[in-house]
Structures are given as structure tokens and as C-alpha cells.
Amino acid sequence: MSEYIYINLRQKKELKEAAANWFHEKWGVPTEAYLECMDAYLAGSTEYGWYLCLDEGRIAGGLGVIENDFHDRKDLSPNVCAVYTEEKYRCRGISGKLLNMAVDDMKSKGITPVYLVTDHVGFYERYGWEFFCMAHGDGETEPTRLYIHR
């Protein structure tokens, strides 16, 4: 079994295009939207980062931190977004490690709390997230759960 490598995108800038395409494939958000956020992070105009788990150079999981993750609570920022682990890598702690990396990185820069929206119940609580309120996703009729990590 190989050892996973956890990085932020600043550590491997050359993965930007591959990462933007990978996130696009998982979530359907245009690649250009990911590239815009990644470029801002790489240029240092934001500290809202992008985090990846690599297995022999392949992306096994990832997530980002952005201003707002397509919901109506624009006052709750920043947001962890696009949390995804490839199916064959699930149940190995990858998303948890990435979540902790992002939260720790934000805290080290004085950025706290951090928020996220999800339909999952029970998963994020394992990593110190607390249910905060309900929020409406852009263009959605049903509210979704919004979590906070202090």
C-alpha cells in the first residue's frame, strides 16, 4: 500500500490545471471558476487555499476554501467547498485529514471560524464541525445544513 501525500496547491503549483479539471468532473462547476480561485490563491491575493491528497501523483481527494459556497448566508465566510474523495479511497481518513489541514491552515493565518454546507449528517461532526444553521443554496428550494468550525 502506498503512502498518501497531503499538500496545498502552493506546494505543487504544477497541479493547478489537473486539480481544476478534477474538481470540475466531481462537482460540475466550470473549470474556469476553480482556476480563478486557484490563481488568486497562488498569486497570494487570498489565503483561501486548495488542498489535495495524492496517491503516486494521482488525486485521491481534495477540497478548497472559498468566500461563499453558493448559499444565501454571504455573511458566513470563508467556506470549505468541493470536499471529495475518490470512491476507491473512501473510509481511509482522507477527507478528515484534508478538513483538518484546511482548518489548521486557516487558523494559522488568523482566519476563523470556517463554514461549510452539506447534506451529510454525522460525518463532519467527527472532525470538530458543529451544526450552525440552515441555509438556502443558490437556486434551491430546500434548505441545507450549514456547519461551523471554530
For the stretch 99-137, pLDDT in tens is 999 999 999 999 999 999 999 999 999 999 999 999 998
pLDDT score, position 1: 54
How high does pLDDT run on average in the chain? Answer: 96
- At 144, is the secondary structure helix, strand, or coil? strand
Across the strands, what pairs with 64? 50, 81
Which of 34-43, 61-70, 103-112, 135-144 is the least confident region?
135-144
Q: State the burial class of residue 139 (Cβ atoms within 10 Å of its Cβ: 0-12, 13-18, 19+).
A: exposed
pLDDT score, position 2: 66
Report the topology of domain 5-111. Aminopeptidase (3.40.630)
- Domain ranges (residues) in the chain: 5-111
pLDDT score, position 12: 98
- d(CA 103, CA 115) in angstroms, rounded, equals 10
Q: Over range 72-89, report the average pLDDT.
A: 97
- d(CA 146, CA 134) in angstroms, rounded, equals 6
Q: Dump pLDDT digits (tens) for 9-26.
A: 999 999 999 999 999 999
Question: Residue 134 corresponds to which amino acid?
Answer: M
Distance separating the N- and C-terminal Cα atoms of the chain: 35
